[in-house]
Structure 1
Amino acid sequence: MATHSLNLCGVLSETKRIINAYSRHFLALSVLFLLPLSFSLIVYPSLSRSPSTVSNYHQSLYFFSSPEPDIPPIEKSGLLLPLLYGLFVLLFSLCATASVTYSTFHGFYGRPVKFVSSIKSILFSFFPLAATLILTQIIVGLIAFAFGGFTVLVYNGFAFFGVEIDYENVYFRGFVILIVVLLVGLLVYLQVEWYLANVVVVVESQWGLAPLKRSSYLVKGMRRVAFSMIMLFGVLLGLLAMLCSSLVPDVGGIREGWVSWAFIFQTVVYTGFMTILMLYSIAANAVLFMYCKALHGELAFEIAEEFAREYVSLPFDDGKVPHVVYVV
């Protein structure tokens, strides 16, 4: 296996090598989980538009006929669609994370990666991933609530002493900006510390607080790489999301007919790019996990065990031991 540096380029290079080595396998997982997820992220903004616009839009898009203004809009609950969409995103995200992480972990060692085994890994990792995700969201919510409560407490304190607060005052704006910066900084720090939590859940079969603590330990010495990966994939996916938000044309353009074909073409292109980015993001997370283990001296023993499984004792091998590979 080629040697790579413990930096962002090394992680991305190793990720590319693993994906290329098992291209058909990762393509199947992407089509099954990531492609529907990417497509939904593009289509959902159009579904969340006003009912009349959505009704006319889908008639033109799928039936290629001019919309009839006499057709009344379909009444839907305002919370039903976001709830169903949230469950859909959660389900496919957890399935993609479990299967891709499992495949990348075994591909790192050069083991045969079977599609059925990757699907089975979802059964063992889905609920631990969901429980860990819920726990992290609770912690983040408590932190945000604490910052908000502190801000309200300070505001009520000034009001109690009869101090009139000028919202245009420079000091007030500076205080609000300081609170926001501290909150965002703390959340980013926690995101870096917990960046490997999902991989720990899948690979080491832990859940709850254990993968969060384990991730915080492993990421030591690689925080810059983890932060760079968060910024890289976050910015790229964010830019794609901004481009996708402008895909839905207005009703006047829809009636002309050609806009629907342009929307289909743009949707296919953006869906493909977003699927690739999501695949690399999950796989690179698993590769970073292996690099962090190597940095902490945990990978050498696992590699020795991997070679020991295939080691055959011959009559003239008595007294000999397999060589141990150290990753520096």
Structure 2
Amino acid sequence: MELTPLHILNLTRVVTDSKRIIKANYTHLITLSLLFLPLCVSLLIGPTLQLSDHLSDVNQKTIIYHLIYILIVYILVLYAITTITYTTHYGFLGKPVNFSTVLKSLTFSFFPIVSTAVVASTIIFLNVLSFLTLVGSILMLVQTLGFVPDYNAIYWFVGATVIMILIYFYVNWSLAFVVVVVESKWGFGALMRSSYLMRGMRSASLLLLLYFGTFSTLLVWVFRDSLHNESSSWVFVSYAILSSSFLIWLLLHSTVANTVLYNYCKALHGELAIEIAEGFDHMYFNLSPGDEKVSLPHDVTVVTV
């Protein structure tokens, strides 16, 4: 059988396999992806749809409404990531999955995912805070010495550096939620496991981030501008439904692609061949010259009952 070298397992390969999984289980995954709807509406229209202005004139209550809405959106996003990741992973391995099984996965994965998100956010916050503190200290020293810094250049430098810090952590920890769902690790253990799996595949994670991030940002920017400039109510609703549908599709595809990338990373580290279920077609990949062949599923299907 013809071998496919590892370098072909790039962005195109991951996206193609993701499309195959979504196509094979369209109704199942689209239903789960509807959990992204509140987030999409928030990004396109506003954080609380301006409901707080009508519910109360008290500023304290307005803040409470915002916090409750943000909490609900956050929980639903984690629900979506957990269920879609679970479905995609076991679909990739050719194992049947149904809605009841997927919903049960929430019982075991939700709180570990929340804990992992808190740990990751805390680490990132501390790193960004340390960098900003260092920059502030340097600026104070420069001013004490009588120099006048170029604040415009400094703002650009600080902004670019913070973005690079966020990208660095994302690329290394992009598989953390998948690790939580699939391997039952959580917290710092899941983050370290993700960093290990990403060795040799960081460029693929970065390309996925740029691919889906660019399209999502452009979509939100274009449609949000169109929505805010639209006076007709029915056109506004039509735009909102259309734009939300596109954004939900991108979030679904991104989550599926990330799970597919996880399985390829495991194959790269020689961990996936043992887990492949028998009874369906395979295609083989040569990880590197002289390495063993590792079998990965070719026809991927999730059985929805």
> Does TM, scored on the shorter chain, surpass 0.5?
yes
Q: 1:92 to 1:155 in 2, by over 3 A?
A: same
Tell me the residue number matched to 1:17: 20
RCO higher in 1 or 2 (8 Å CA, sep ≥ 6)? 2
Contact 1:222 1:292 in 2 (8 A): yes
1:87 aligns with 2:71: yes
- Summarize deviations over 1:89-125 as a string: whole Å, max 9, x none: 2101100010000000110012111011111111111
Distance 1:195 1:113 in 2: 24
Structure 2 counterpart of 1:297, which letter?
A: G
Structure 2 counterpart of 1:178, which letter?
A: F
Tell me the residue number matched to 1:269: 242
Q: 1:178 to 1:246 in 2, by over 3 A?
A: closer
- Summarize deviations over 1:25-78 as a string: whole Å, max 9, x none: 1122123x1234323433325724994xxx6xxxxxxxxxxxxxxxxx941534
- Summarize deviations over 1:151-209 as a string: whole Å, max 9, x none: 22112223434x1525xx4xx54444334333322221111011111100110001111
Contact 1:46 1:248 in 2 (8 A): no
DSSP-derived class of the 1:103 partner: helix
Tell me the residue number matched to 1:185: 164
TM-score computed with the length of structure 1 as normaliser: 0.77
Contact 2:38 2:73 in 1 (8 A): no
Contact 2:48 2:69 in 1 (8 A): no
- Summarize deviations over 1:197-222 as a string: whole Å, max 9, x none: 11001100011111111111111111
Q: 1:157 to 1:94 in 2, by over 3 A?
A: same
Aligned alpha-carbon RMSD (Å): 2.6
Contact 1:15 1:287 in 2 (8 A): yes
Contact 2:273 2:295 in 1 (8 A): yes
Tell me the residue number matched to 1:314: none
Contact 2:227 2:239 in 1 (8 A): no
Residue in structure 1 matching 2:44, options 38, 42, 45: 42
**Deviation at residue 126 of structure 1 after TM alignment:** 0.7
**Deviation at residue 3 of structure 1 after TM alignment:** 8.7
Which of these two proteins has the greater Rg computed from alpha carbons? 1
Matches within 5 A, 1:232-243: 232-243=211-222
Gap runs ≥5 in structure 1: 56-72, 309-323
Contact 1:45 1:245 in 2 (8 A): no
1:126 aligns with 2:97: no
Matches within 5 A, 1:62-141: 74-77=56-59, 78-141=62-125
**Deviation at residue 140 of structure 1 after TM alignment:** 1.2
Contact 1:240 1:274 in 2 (8 A): yes
Gap runs ≥5 in structure 2: 280-291, 297-305
Structure 2 counterpart of 1:307, which letter?
A: E
Structure 1 counterpart of 2:278, which letter?
A: F
DSSP-derived class of the 2:294 partner: coil
Tell me the residue number matched to 2:295: 327
